[in-house]
Amino acid sequence: MHRGKGMKFVGDSRVPAMDHRKPNIPKDYSEYPGKTEAFWPNFLLKEWMVGAVFLIGFLCLTIAHEPPLEKIADPSDTAYIPLPDWYFLFLYQLLKYTYASGPYNAVGAFIIPGLAFGALLLAPFLDRGPERRPSKRPLATGFMLLAVAATVFLTWQSVATHDWEAAANQGKIVAEVDIDTNAEGYKLLEANTCTSCHGAELAGGGPNPALIDTGLTPEEIADIAKHGTGNMPPGMFKGTDEELKVLAEFISGLTSK
Domains and CATH numbers, the chain: 86-162 (1.10.287), 184-252 (1.10.760.10)
pLDDT, position 54: 95
Q: How confident is the model at residue 55 (pLDDT cuts 50, 70, 90)?
A: very high
Q: Is residue 2 over pLDDT 70?
A: no
> Is the Cβ–Cβ distance between 175 and 250 less than 8 Å?
no
Residue predicted with more confidence, 79 or 134:
134
Residue 197, annotated as binding a ligand: yes
Q: Is residue 195 over pLDDT 70?
A: yes
Q: How confident is the model at residue 52 (pLDDT cuts 50, 70, 90)?
A: very high
**Which of 53-62, 175-184, 222-231 tops mean pLDDT?**
53-62
> Is the Cβ–Cβ distance between 185 and 246 less than 8 Å?
yes
Average pLDDT value over all residues in the chain:
79
Q: Is residue 97 over pLDDT 80?
A: yes
Q: Is residue 124 over pLDDT 90?
A: no
- Return the closest-CA partner of residue 194 out of 204, 184, 182, 181: 204
pLDDT, position 141: 86
Residue predicted with more confidence, 59 or 25:
59
Give mean pLDDT, residues 169-183.
Answer: 70
pLDDT, position 99: 87
Give mean pLDDT, residues 145-169.
Answer: 86
> Is the Cβ–Cβ distance between 198 and 210 less than 8 Å?
yes
Range in 51-55, 108-112, 136-140, 193-197 the model is least confident about: 193-197
Give mean pLDDT, residues 183-207.
Answer: 77
Q: Is residue 1 over pLDDT 60?
A: no
Give mean pLDDT, residues 134-158.
Answer: 89
Q: How confident is the model at residue 153 (pLDDT cuts 50, 70, 90)?
A: very high
Residue 60, annotated as binding a ligand: no
